A and B are shown apart, each in its own frame.
Chain A
Amino acid sequence: MTPAIEVRQVSFEYGPHRPVLTGLDLGVRPGTFLAVAGPNGAGKSTLIHLMAGVLRPQSGAVFLEGRDLRSYGVRDLARKVALVRQEFVPAFGFSVYETVLMARTPCYGQWGFESREDRETVARALERTDTARFASRPLGSLSAGERQRVFVARALAQDTPILLLDEPTSFLDLRHQVAIYDLLKSIQQETASTIVAVTHEINLASQYCDEALLLYPCRREGPPSAHPVSPSDYRIGSTREVFAPEEIRRAFGVGIFSGVLGSERFVLPLGERAKDANLLRPPDVV
């Protein structure tokens, strides 16, 4: 089967000697919910922006549904991929409804107005994300959790087979984190979308995602010219394999406590104090 997203030998650097991703190779099957995790600076956001076509790799290529991303026009691309980003600019008091409707901009008629079909798509997106209740409120008046659901709604209104999210649960409390993952899971199941979410919530991702990609930190010690750039170090596979406690410890360089609850495995980071306290039995600690 053609992968929904394929990353072939992709390298990206933000400047000379500042490589972020090197020779990355991976595929995401259609209908998969993939979590992308890893330490800060490992290139998670970079990867998702490369998949969305916002950034272009210096070498290698990204394929969407088997077609080179570079061959897509701006509009074609917007029909394939929707991106939910972290930043939010509270500009000019647009309402929730207006914000979600903006996803339909390229579909407007010649006089610059939306069609009935556009309005129906928006209504469905609002309904599904449970944001229809505050559709007429200004975006700036919402809580972070509500706002994040609105941005997911806007991505849904774009009506794309691929949905990319950059840390959709940052700034959210536990209840809202769960709510976002519930929402993404239901979207995946109802529409068979391919979803890729960058996240730091390893335990939630383990519960909800089918597969995980763990990016290990890039090694950048010493002068860059001293040694050739080694390929990016990463693991991709089922969440269970990739988020194994040893892998997490290696990626983040922090002690890990792991436990099992039913069929789910959980990991907790351990600070120095927890180890000193000697409260944990050795088999639990990796």
Chain B
Amino acid sequence: MHPPLTPRMLLLRTSLAATLLAAVLLVCSLVGPQEISLKAALQGVQVAGLPNPDYEILVQVRIPRVLLAAMVGAALAASGVIFQALLRNPLADPYILGVSSGAGLGAMLAVIGGLGWTLWGRSPIAVFAFLGALGTVWLVWALGRITGKHQVTGLLLAGVVVNAFFSAMIMFLISIAKSQHLYATIFWLMGNMTEEDWFVLWVGGGGILAGIVALFFLGPQLNIISVGRQDARSVGVRVERVELAAFAISAFITAVAVSLSGLIGFVGLIVPHAVRLVFGPDHRQLVPLSSLVGAIFLVVADTVARMVVAPAQLPVGVVTAMIGGPFFLFLLVTHSKKVYWAT
């Protein structure tokens, strides 16, 4: 069994995970089909008057890529934790309320609307995906409120149905789309980690980090809400306020992640469970640790995805499921007795 969480334990584990993440970021930014050396890269933009290729690859390609993977992994894992707690459903993931299909439809419309035009000098796909994701979650939330203020079943069903409807629309659009649009869409739907715009990284990363920090402070309230809303209310938690904040923040960071990287499955479902199995169910710990583990996991998975069939790349979702699946089953078999149905 897990001993009760203390601030010291939390600090220790979080700093260990953060250190590990830093190490993974460094190593993975140096690994790739094109070999580069850190020493050479550190010599700066120019060496002897000529552009330094090692520096360019590191700063313009590799670092943005690992940072993006880390941000997306952290966002998906953190919002996976939140959705599982709020819906009191271990099968919930960040996409359960329609973020994925909403973003997909938004991206699809941007592609079909014409790749030629730009928004503030950038491709409109990410912006459309972001708006589609948030709009869909809002729609599902509103439908859930109508069907039953205090029941999660209505919310879940609304999410499933809206997801199915939008997925059908995506399929419909794919089947009538022109072939050049088709490639761009499917590439986006499978998820990819190519983002070379530092401005976008700063904005997205800042948003995600702020969201995760805010979610951390909801940890104690989430603990008791995950056991029951009524119980939470009767010990003195302002349930509606906490729920609304947690839903809004996690929908937001998921939408940011999805609009930057496309759809990456599995991280948001598996990482929270893995962390829970190993370290216990306390949300004060689950939020920061899952974020860090999710970041590490996705950075590693993305590195594998660009290495195995180099110079081509695998969709990162293939790797997350192929590495993450067996590893998670291993954890489930070895730890679940102690956590979920211990005797």
B176 at the interface (CB under 8 A from A): no
Q: In the bound complex, do residue B230 and residue A140 qualify as a contact, i.e. CB atoms below 8 Å apart?
A: no
With a cutoff of 8 Å between Cβ atoms, the chain B residues found around residue A158 in the complex are 235-236
Q: Which of A89, A93, A97, A101 gathers the greatest number of chain B CB atoms within 10 Å? A: A93
A79 at the interface (CB under 8 A from B): yes
Instruction: Digitize A72-103: 1 where CB-to-B-CB distance is under 8 Å, 0 elsewhere.
Output: 00110111011101010101111101110111
Q: In the bound complex, do residue A93 and residue B339 qualify as a contact, i.e. CB atoms below 8 Å apart?
A: yes
Q: In the bound complex, do residue A141 and residue B236 qualify as a contact, i.e. CB atoms below 8 Å apart?
A: no
The CA of A264 and the CA of B7, in the complex, are separated in Å by 53
Instruction: Digitize B229-241: 1 where CB-to-A-CB distance is under 8 Å, 0 elsewhere.
Output: 0111111111000
A171 at the interface (CB under 8 A from B): no
With a cutoff of 8 Å between Cβ atoms, the chain B residues found around residue A14 in the complex are none
Q: In the bound complex, do residue A91 and residue B226 qualify as a contact, i.e. CB atoms below 8 Å apart?
A: yes
Given contacts A101-B4, A102-B223, A112-B284, contact A141 B341 (CB under 8 A): yes
A186 at the interface (CB under 8 A from B): no
29-83 of chain A: CB within 8 A of chain B? 52, 54, 74-75, 77-79, 81-83
Stretch of B39-47, B110-118, B213-221 at the chain-chain interface: B213-221
B2 at the interface (CB under 8 A from A): yes
Number of interface residues of A (CB under 8 A): 38
Q: In the bound complex, do residue B236 and residue A85 qualify as a contact, i.e. CB atoms below 8 Å apart?
A: no
Shortest Cβ distance from B240 into A: residue: A74
Determine how close the nearest CB of chain A comes to the CB of B257; give it in whole angstroms.
Answer: 24
With a cutoff of 8 Å between Cβ atoms, the chain A residues found around residue B220 in the complex are 105, 108, 112
Q: In the bound complex, do residue A141 and residue B276 qualify as a contact, i.e. CB atoms below 8 Å apart?
A: no
Number of interface residues of B (CB under 8 A): 39
Which of B1, B219, B231, B236 is the one whose CB lies under 8 Å from A95? B1
The CA of A95 and the CA of B2, in the complex, are separated in Å by 8
Which of B219, B226, B230, B232 is the one whose CB lies under 8 Å from A92? B226
99-137 of chain B: CB within 8 A of chain A? none
Q: In the bound complex, do residue A140 and residue B90 qualify as a contact, i.e. CB atoms below 8 Å apart?
A: no
Determine how close the nearest CB of chain A comes to the CB of B304; give it in whole angstroms.
Answer: 30
With a cutoff of 8 Å between Cβ atoms, the chain B residues found around residue A101 in the complex are 4
Q: In the bound complex, do residue A79 and residue B1 qualify as a contact, i.e. CB atoms below 8 Å apart?
A: no
Q: In the bound complex, do residue B223 and residue A78 qualify as a contact, i.e. CB atoms below 8 Å apart?
A: no
Shortest Cβ distance from B84 into A: residue: A92
With a cutoff of 8 Å between Cβ atoms, the chain A residues found around residue B3 in the complex are 136
A106 at the interface (CB under 8 A from B): yes
The CA of A154 and the CA of B2, in the complex, are separated in Å by 19
Q: In the bound complex, do residue A113 and residue B236 qualify as a contact, i.e. CB atoms below 8 Å apart?
A: no
The CA of A9 and the CA of B169, in the complex, are separated in Å by 55
Q: In the bound complex, do residue B340 and residue A93 qualify as a contact, i.e. CB atoms below 8 Å apart?
A: yes
With a cutoff of 8 Å between Cβ atoms, the chain B residues found around residue A98 in the complex are 4, 223, 281-282
Determine how close the nearest CB of chain A comes to the CB of B323; give it in whole angstroms.
Answer: 25
Shortest Cβ distance from A104 into B: residue: B235
B193 at the interface (CB under 8 A from A): no
With a cutoff of 8 Å between Cβ atoms, the chain A residues found around residue B339 in the complex are 93, 138
With a cutoff of 8 Å between Cβ atoms, the chain A residues found around residue B341 in the complex are 138, 140-141
The CA of A103 and the CA of B339, in the complex, are separated in Å by 21
B244 at the interface (CB under 8 A from A): no
B258 at the interface (CB under 8 A from A): no
B343 at the interface (CB under 8 A from A): yes
With a cutoff of 8 Å between Cβ atoms, the chain A residues found around residue B224 in the complex are 102, 105
Q: In the bound complex, do residue B284 and residue A113 qualify as a contact, i.e. CB atoms below 8 Å apart?
A: yes
153-191 of chain B: CB within 8 A of chain A? none
A250 at the interface (CB under 8 A from B): no
Which of B7, B230, B233, B235 is the one whose CB lies under 8 Å from A102? B235
With a cutoff of 8 Å between Cβ atoms, the chain B residues found around residue A138 in the complex are 1, 339-342
With a cutoff of 8 Å between Cβ atoms, the chain B residues found around residue A112 in the complex are 216-217, 219-220, 284
Q: Which of B219, B224, B228 gathers the greatest number of chain A CB atoms within 10 Å? A: B224
Given contacts A97-B4, A98-B4, contact A140 B342 (CB under 8 A): yes
Q: In the bound complex, do residue A54 and residue B230 qualify as a contact, i.e. CB atoms below 8 Å apart?
A: yes
Q: In the bound complex, do residue A89 and residue B88 qualify as a contact, i.e. CB atoms below 8 Å apart?
A: yes
Q: In the bound complex, do residue B231 and residue A113 qualify as a contact, i.e. CB atoms below 8 Å apart?
A: no
With a cutoff of 8 Å between Cβ atoms, the chain A residues found around residue B217 in the complex are 112
Q: In the bound complex, do residue B227 and residue A91 qualify as a contact, i.e. CB atoms below 8 Å apart?
A: yes
Which of B4, B85, B228 is the one whose CB lies under 8 Å from A87? B228
Which of A85, A104, A106 is the one whose CB lies under 8 Å from B230? A85
Determine how close the nearest CB of chain A comes to the CB of B79; give it in whole angstroms.
Answer: 16
The CA of A46 and the CA of B221, in the complex, are separated in Å by 26
With a cutoff of 8 Å between Cβ atoms, the chain B residues found around residue A154 in the complex are 235
Given contacts A92-B276, A138-B339, A141-B343, contact A75 B227 (CB under 8 A): no
Using a CB–CB cutoff of 8 Å, the interface residues on chain A facing chain B are: 52, 54, 74-75, 77-79, 81-83, 85, 87, 89, 91-95, 97-99, 101-106, 108, 111-113, 136-138, 140-141, 154, 158
Known: A74-B237, A92-B84, A101-B4. 19 other contacts (CB 8 A): A52-B234, A54-B233, A81-B234, A82-B234, A85-B228, A91-B88, A92-B340, A95-B4, A95-B280, A98-B281, A102-B235, A105-B232, A108-B220, A112-B217, A112-B219, A113-B6, A136-B1, A138-B1, A138-B339
3 closest cross-chain pairs (CB), A and B: A78-B236, A106-B236, A92-B281
**What are 13 contact pairs spanning A and B, CB under 8 A?**
A54-B234, A74-B237, A78-B235, A81-B234, A85-B230, A85-B231, A91-B228, A94-B227, A95-B4, A105-B224, A106-B235, A138-B342, A141-B342
